[in-house]
Chains A and B, each alone.
Chain A
Amino acid sequence: MSALRIALAQGTLLADTRVALAAAGLATDVLSEGGRRLVLPIGDVEYVLARPSDVPTHVAHGAADIGIVGKDVLLETDADVLELVDLGYGRCRFVVAAPTGSVDRSLDEYRHLGSLEVATKYPRVAHRHFQLRGMQVEIIKLNGSVELAPQVGLADWIVDLVSTGRTLAENRLSIVEEIATCTARLIANRVSYARDRERIAALASTLEAWAGAR
């Protein structure tokens, strides 16, 4: 049987992901070496380290059998993968935020002008949310420091991912609305899940029990 290839999101999730995989009985030593190699075989698994937003693509195309990535990334990339387990860690929220004390004024403006400008790194999530609300907004895609946008007059509101909310507070922004709570997910390629069911389902059950016990 060939090695089970697991795509892992580099960055903030990786530390908890190592703990989860170790709890599921997988060797994770190779993940802690801090090296530059991105394909790390060990035993009967092979880890692939990728940018979080690329993990769903790897799995959707079958380049990796399974992966661990945040629900936030899944919502934004909309890749065709199976979501098997909510791992519970990496908790963060998609929120709509506005300059503190200005929500009423911007809603006034919205009634007056019929549209608001919303800056975000997550255009798909933002678009879908406001479409569901029936609100007309102009989405402005930024690649970083979204919280800056209202201060410099680039946008009225922002849609961003927050974990503690400190960045929002420091930039005098308040939450208008929560869109979704996101946690890390175990995902699988549809064909890999069919063909390698025993290994993947066993891992899913173990990880689910681990997440439930935390």
Chain B
Amino acid sequence: MADLAALLEPHIPALRRYAYALLRNHEQADDLVQDTLERALSRWSLRRPESDLRAWLFTIQRNLYVSHWRRDRRRGVPVEMDETVLPGVPARQETTLEVHDVLAALDQLPEEQKSLLLLVGVEDFSYDEAARILGMPIGTVMSRLSRARLRLRSIVETGRTTLLRRVK
């Protein structure tokens, strides 16, 4: 089974990064990744050999998050934010105001747009791959991406005006 570890483990850091960006809690993020890996092992023999392993793992993880994790979170399972960002208070002073906490701003987007920005913008998936992972047509990916970035700009913009008012 050493070969399975060698195939899967190189993808774990990226899966953890995606899980953390979705859940914003280190412990829960690792729970989600563990679920993903267990599912991948139990489905290994069903995997089409020609399919891309990284995209396959991200598809599993995203589906698990949507079907189970997000539901639990909405239901009110206590979620401890590891990085609580108070409104209008920049997490890190050295970064410019307009981009100071994109990760926190991301939380205000719907899951689909959030996942899209993470898959394309952070994990460097192609638009085609992102479309397959999210189960949407490529045209939808392009319009959602544009809309997600527009919303992100306006959220950060609003955050900045709030901050400026507070500073005054």
Does chain A bind chain B? no
